[in-house]
Amino acid sequence: MIKTVAFHLQKGGVGKTTISGTLACQSALAGFKTLLVDVDPQGNASSWFLKNATKYELVDVIQGKCFWNDAVVEIPQIPNLFLLPTFGIGGNLKNYSETKLAEEPFVIQDLIAELSGAYDRIILDMSPGLGRLERAALIASDEVITPMTPEVFSLDGLEIFIDELDKIKKNLRSNVKHTKIVINSFDNRIKQHRDIYSAACTGVFSVFKIPVDPLFRKAQEAGMAPQVFKKYGKGLKASTIESFTALDLAIWR
Ligand SMILES: Nc1ncnc2c1ncn2[C@@H]1O[C@H](COP(=O)(O)OP(=O)(O)O)[C@@H](O)[C@H]1O
Ligand SMILES: [Mg+2]
């Protein structure tokens, strides 16, 4: 059974935070006790859902400065959603991953094992890159899903990721599943988008599409779940809701 899912590609700006945060909301709104772990030193998922500063962050738990339940916060505006935050400003995850993490490649795996008894589902929002921090988070996951945007170099990026993941799995004896790709900001009217979609459908991967939807950014600014946020009476597009329902079903079934 899949319990911990990470969204990862070494590139930035492909929708890792948007998809992991929206999927976490989808799961929480459906009544599952869901933990979103912010494993990105930039802390974007945390600034999305947290209105006020909190005392502890993920790296404090990893370093034994507090217990995990001192750092996890319940998100009041989204029932069943919990966040293990990282502070983008003034946070210590970046420094830790550059100095101490090399000696402790399994710390995130150990932490997730401890957390998994307390939550129905765990979702990791990852940082771009394929360094120590991303490796440590990848091997802590049951499944990694690759988000990509339909751009010229995106298939190269996917190939690089597949190769690197293979090495990580061998070197760190991980069994993480990698069978899904999400093409984000997809527009069916654009030929290049359709071509990249076809090229990604090699038979090896299940390929999902998420349309361009300006409501994501607005919901992020408002600190809300995109599924319930409305601007001038309008919410997410029907096609966006359909995409997330399909992705959610495919992951947790
Ligand atoms: N499907 C989408 N439609 C419109 N905007 C999107 C979509 N996905 C992501 N965005 C926007 O693109 C930017 C980058 O997305 P983000 O999730 O932060 O990427 P990453 O975490 O991979 O760096 C954000 O401002 C986000 O609101
Ligand atoms: Mg991000």
Rounded distance from Cα 217 to ligand 1 centre (Å): 7
Q: What is the pLDDT of residue 26?
A: 97
Average pLDDT on 140-167 reads: 95
> With a 6 A CB cut-off, is 22 part of the ligand 1 pocket?
no
Across the beta sheet with 206-211, the strand order is 73-74, 81-84, 34-39, 121-126, 4-7, 143-148, 177-186, 206-211
> With a 6 A CB cut-off, is 10 part of the ligand 1 pocket?
no
User: 16-53: per-residue pLDDT in tens?
Assistant: 999 999 999 999 999 999 999 999 999 999 999 998 98
Q: Residue 63: phi, psi to the nearest 5?
A: -90, 5
| 202 — pLDDT class (breaks 50, 70, 90) | confident
Which domains, from first to last, does the chain contain? 4-252 (3.40.50.300)
| 253 — pLDDT class (breaks 50, 70, 90) | confident
Q: What is the mean pLDDT of the chain?
A: 96
Q: Which residues contact 228 (CB under 8 A, 6 or more apart)?
A: 25, 29, 235
Rounded distance from Cα 197 to ligand 2 centre (Å): 22
